[in-house]
Amino acid sequence: MTRSWTPGTADAALSAIAATPRLVVALDFDGTASPFVTDPMSARALPEVVVQVERLTALPDTVVAYVSGRSMDDLRVITEHTDDSPIVLAGSHGAQYWYPGSGDADARGEAAEDAEREALWVAARPIIDRYEGVELEQKTFGMGVHTRAASPEIEEQVFAAIDALVAEQLPHWRRRAGNRVLEFSSRAEGKDAAMQALRERFDATGILFAGDDVTDEDAMRVLSDGDLGVRVGPGETAATLRVDSPQQIAALLEQLADERAARRE
């Protein structure tokens, strides 16, 4: 049963994850660490989120990761990520990784054949260009169609046209529908794979995962009893807690950092 969390209030599940010996804090980016913005590449984490992420990464046995559907190159841009960053990145829904101290470490498997992927981009471009407020995102393993600046009517039309195109050209690719985005990938990994990879990499005894979209539920559903899922905003969810906004995510991370730091004094 999902319950709403009010900033400043105690919660047993939050206190339990704060006490876990080896913690991974995994955050979706768009709509979770960052407000939802019209231009996908202008997304940036809220300053108050950045502050709490820095506090958490400075604590012993505590790892922070951004887990996103964005390709790694774009994810590094929007997270303002540097080569000396202590923050882990999981891009392309868990098909790409960047780890502090070692850098890029892509998951097993090969990228889509360049010719196949680029042929899809070429075929999709005339469809995208017919609709106002629609953008094509070229991804390492496929593509995303963003409708953040489009009307619902246009979104329905362009998604139908792109669905038909991919069904004809690449019916075996994985389809994901999210908040104002439709994605196709040659890779099958979802954010559930990212949870497994992070747990194994850091020998985590607990994972706090926060996300706001349908694709984040892949991760929510594989969390165990020692973990904590946090849903941002409305929608069906397997998360334990729900908050209203990225601003409340910042408040939740602050309480997590406060409690975890206090236990280590």
Q: Examine the domain organization and report whether 165 and 131 are in the same domain.
A: yes
Question: What are 182-230's pLDDT values in tens digits?
Answer: 999 998 889 999 999 999 999 999 999 999 999 999 999 999 999 999 9
Q: Is 203 exposed, middle or buried (0-12, 13-18, 19+ CB in 10 A)?
A: exposed
Range of the domain at 205: 3-108+190-263
Same domain, 104 and 145: no
Which pLDDT value is given to residue 47? Answer: 98
In the predicted structure, residue 35 carries a pLDDT above the cut 70: yes
Answer with the one of 163, 185, 207 that is the final residue of a domain: 185
Q: Which of 145, 169, 185 is the last residue of a domain?
A: 185
What is the arrangement of strands in the sheet containing 174-178, beginning at the earlier edge strand? Answer: 135-139, 142-146, 181-185, 174-178
* 181 and 250 part of one domain: no
Pick the closest to residue 2 from 208, 226, 231 (CA basis).
231
> How far is 14 from 60, CA to CA, in rounded Å?
18
Q: Is residue 210 located within the same domain as residue 94?
A: yes
Contact 147, 180 (CB under 8 A): yes
Averaged pLDDT, 239-265: 95
Tens-place pLDDT, residues 120-176: 999 999 999 999 999 999 998 999 999 999 999 999 999 999 999 999 999 999 999
Say whether pLDDT at 111 is over 80.
Answer: no
Statement to judge: residues 205 and 97 lie in one domain: yes
What CATH code is carried by the domain that includes residue 179? Answer: 3.30.70
Residues 14 and 80 in one domain: yes
Round to whole Å and give the CA distance between 265 and 248.
Answer: 26
CB atoms within 10 A of CB 80: 10
Domain count, the chain: 2
Residue 253 binned pLDDT confidence (cut-offs 50, 70, 90): very high
Last residue of a domain, one of 185, 211, 236: 185
Look at residue 114 in the predicted model and tell me its pLDDT.
76
- Which pLDDT score, from 0 to 100, does residue 113 have? 67
Quote the CA–CA distance of 53 and 231 in Å, as a whole number.
18
| 124 and 240 inside one domain | no
